[in-house]
Each structure stands twice: as structure tokens, then as C-alpha cells.
Amino acid sequence: MANDYDAVVIGSGPNGLGAAITLVRAGLSVLVLEANPTIGGGARSAELTLPGFIHDVCSAIHPLAAGSAFFKTLPLERFGLDWIQPEIPLAHPLDDGTAACLQRDVDLTANSFGSDARSYQNLMTPLTRDWQNLSAEFLQPILHLPRHPIALGRFGIRALCPATWLTRFLFKNEPARALFAGIAAHSFLPLESLVTSAFGLVLGSAGHAVGWPLPRGGSQSISNALANYFRELGGKIEIDRRIENLNQLPKTRVTLFDTTVWQLARIAGERLPARYRHRLENFRHAPGIFKIDYALSSPIPWKSEACRRAGTIHLGGTLDQIASAERDVARGQVPNRPFVLVAQQSLFDETRAPHGKHTLWAYCHVPFGCSPQRVRPVADKIDMSERIESQIERFAPGFRDCILGRHKMSATDLEKSNPNLAGGDINGGAANLWQLIARPILSPTPYRTPLRGIYLCSSSTPPGGGVHGMCGYHAARAALRDMFDKRIPVEP
């Protein structure tokens, strides 16, 4: 019997759409099935608080999308994507009222670090210069033949170090240490863990090389641009189509799962070889998050003037304080003073709020285990809003007086909004050293599953979390190679 489509993609997140575009560009007929009534997964926007306030439901700040070698090949500007670069990509306030700032310019950043200036320059200048080559190396499976071995070598040794070691070794003073620690905390790992420095190096040098931009109109505009380009090429998207088992799928040569490993294990179930299924089921989760969006009557009254010019603010104080908060989370404890990530999009994008009013996006890390299936209910019951607001007040006294509306999302709420966010894990699984190498299996093509024609294309595959579409792109290329090598025959 003839196929309905050459390829079906389950899920319309950035990786699902990335995979779908790669397949349709190769001349295949492609259908995307999305469980939600809106497309985009982790790149969506909505009026979560009050009318006229547009909030990013998940992702907000996009160094990886702006730097994605794959997205660069797509005409996304023609479909309305417009990057806004805040004057300062990232500010990290300290208790003395100053803030360490990551500026676009490495030297400008370094010069604010006094005696740590030279160390910062030595660390970031080569990485920033090599960013295009380096990003091509690390935005793919680790098991590959490097095309830029010198750049990769320079990056690799430092990247492996725990962020606490590297910062204490390189920097004498708090501003540089705290700034690097905050960026490394995007790893969701305790900062004493191997490979946490990689996150500080990659995201820090991305800040210099491509910025930490935000899309005009909200992150939904990334998904809309991807989806509209896909449709222009002849692709089809169906919403409200949640897939629970393989029998629900139309007839197709290949199926790509923009779902987590745990969902793939459930959906494909007994059809997967037991050993592979066991590996998927035992893939380790990252900690979860607790998120709040605010509608504000005015900009945030930061003590540090630099924070009023920055798109992203990291709130957590010193290296030791951030390391302590992340240690608590990893041990399953809720930190009293969590590390809080904040984005203030409306300062730079007037489409996000009514005139004179503002939005604020904030989240902190919490222990994993809030999902009903996984039993560690403590985090689920904790409302982190008081602790998040105390951290904001610490660096912006009077913040609470600006609040017009709040929208909170616990780990359980996140999971309800997108099955990929089970337990509040926003990265498709922990990014510890082993799971970066074997994501989810040790292979140069970890996208392929043992079932012929079934591929995984979500952030549970390399290079992992973030809006960049690279997991989808690589997975689709693996599927295309198999189809054109005739490992997957055409049905008559």
C-alpha cells in the first residue's frame, strides 16, 4: 500500500520544525503532528498575565538560535524573524550595587574586571574569534572527526573543568568569577561537576560573537517563521494531534520523534529492543525549573544602572552563593536563595507590553521530580515565587511595587503544557559529561533507533537543549542518508 507521506515528524518544537524543513527541502512530502493547539514547543509566546502583555512561554534569549549554522541557511527574516540585540547582553548584579557585565566587546568586558582583565581576554578572545568553527564542532554529536582540531583542542581542556575550579584558577575577583559562574549554571549541573565550564565558555563566547538577542514580537516569531517557510515548501502541520502509540501514525517511510527519550520509550514500547528501551528509560533527567512571568507598571528599579540596559540578568550573587544554590538543587533540596535567570524583553521590544508598561520573564532551578509519575513530590508543592521575588528585591528594591500581574508555572504545569517538560526538565535530560557523549546512546548517529525508519530528533539528542534546530537537522540528515542508501525501501 502506498505511503501517505514520505516522512512524519511528531512535535513542532524548533527541532521538529528543523527536521521537517530539512526533509521537505530534500523533496519529501512531510507531515508534522503537534499535540498542542499552538505550534512551537519551547519557542512560543502568549498573553499569560494581562491583555497586551506578550510573554515568552518558554525560551526567551537566543544566542544559540542566532548562532545556529542551520538556521543561518533559512530565509527566516523573510518570514518575519527580526533579532533585537540589547545594548548589554548580560548583567550580573552584586550586593555592593555594581554589576559585572558581559558586553559584546571582549576587551570592554575584560577592562571592567581590573586585575582579571588579562585572564578574561586570554580566555575569551580566541574562542570568540573561532566561534563559527567551534560552534560547528560542538553543535553535533561529540563522536565525530573534528574539522577544526586546533580550535577544539583549545576549547576542550578548559571546557572539561568544573566551573568552580576554572573560575578560581583564572580570576582573583568576584565580578569575573560571579559572571562566569552564572553562565556556567545554565548547565543545570552543580558547578563542581566536570564539563560545567563548557557552558560558561560556549554561552559566554556566543555573547561576544553573536550576542544574546531576543526576537521582536516574542519567541513565537521564531516558530512562526520556521513553520511558514516549511509550509511554503509544501509541508503540512496538524495541531491537536497527540501521538500515544505508533498505530496512530499515517503510513510513512520515516518517523522522527521531537519528543524526549522517555516518551519515545512509551510510544514505541515493546517494539523497541529491551536493551535500547532500558537505556532510554534510564536516561537521567536534569533538575526542573519554576517559572514566573510578570506584567509590570514600570521598568525594574535596579540598583545598578547597567542592569537597566541589559537583556538578561543573572541573580545569585557570588560564585560561592550560586554554587551553593545549584548544589542544593542537585541534592534534591529547594535552595533558599535560588539562582534566578531574568529577561526584560520589553525594554528593547515595544511590541511586548502596552506603552510605558513592561514584562519580566524569570525562572529558577528546582529539584527534578515534580511529575506525577516520578515520586519526589516535595518540589511540586513548593511555590518559588517568594524566593524569586526576594532575589529580585535584593538587587532592585521596590520591585514588588511594580507588579501588576503574575503567571506562575511549576514543574507540573510545565509538563502539562508540553509532555517534553516532564518533571520540569527543560533540556530533554541532564547534560552531564556521559550524557553529552552518549545522548542517548554512544554512536556517531545517535538519532537512529534500532527500529527501521524511526529517529529521535529532540533535545534528548546532540547537541542537546536550546533553540537552535541542530538536533532536528542532524536527525533528518541521518534519515535522508538511510533513505537514499535504500536502507529504508520505498513502499509500492
Ligand X SMILES: Cc1cc2nc3c(=O)[nH]c(=O)nc-3n(C[C@H](O)[C@H](O)[C@H](O)COP(=O)(O)OP(=O)(O)OC[C@H]3O[C@@H](n4cnc5c(N)ncnc54)[C@H](O)[C@@H]3O)c2cc1C
- Positions touching ligand X (CB under 6 A) are 10-16, 33-36, 41-43, 58-62, 64, 242-243, 258-259, 263, 289, 291, 363, 414, 418-421, 426-428, 458-459, 465-467, 471
Distance of alpha carbon 218 from alpha carbon 55, whole angstroms: 7
Amino acid sitting at position 321: Q
In the complex, the smallest distance separating the C-beta of residue 327 from ligand X, rounded to whole angstroms, is 22
Give Dmax over CA atoms of the chain in angstroms: 72
Nearer to ligand X, 25 or 44 (CB): 44
What residues contact residue 41 under an 8 Å CB cut-off, 6+ apart?
Answer: 11, 12, 13, 14, 16, 58, 223, 258, 418, 420
In the complex, the smallest distance separating the C-beta of residue 266 from ligand X, rounded to whole angstroms, is 9
Nearer to ligand X, 116 or 258 (CB): 258
Burial of 350 (0-12, 13-18, 19+ CB in 10 A): exposed
In the complex, the smallest distance separating the C-beta of residue 311 from ligand X, rounded to whole angstroms, is 10
Nearer to ligand X, 227 or 414 (CB): 414
Nearer to ligand X, 418 or 445 (CB): 418
In the complex, the smallest distance separating the C-beta of residue 107 from ligand X, rounded to whole angstroms, is 26
In the complex, the smallest distance separating the C-beta of residue 77 from ligand X, rounded to whole angstroms, is 19
**How much is the CA Rg of the chain, to the nearest whole Å?**
22
Nearer to ligand X, 182 or 419 (CB): 419
Nearer to ligand X, 325 or 341 (CB): 341
Nearer to ligand X, 453 or 466 (CB): 466
Q: Grid cell 533585537 — which residue?
A: 84
Closest-CA residue to 289 (of 325, 249, 253): 325
- The answer to whether 260 and 424 have CB atoms below 8 angstroms apart is no
In the complex, the smallest distance separating the C-beta of residue 458 from ligand X, rounded to whole angstroms, is 4
- Read out DSSP for 230-285? HHHTT-EEESS----SGGGSPSEEEEEE-S-HHHHHHHHGGGS-HHHHHHHHTPPP
Q: Is 359 helix (H, G, I), strand (E, B) or coil?
A: strand
In the complex, the smallest distance separating the C-beta of residue 318 from ligand X, rounded to whole angstroms, is 23
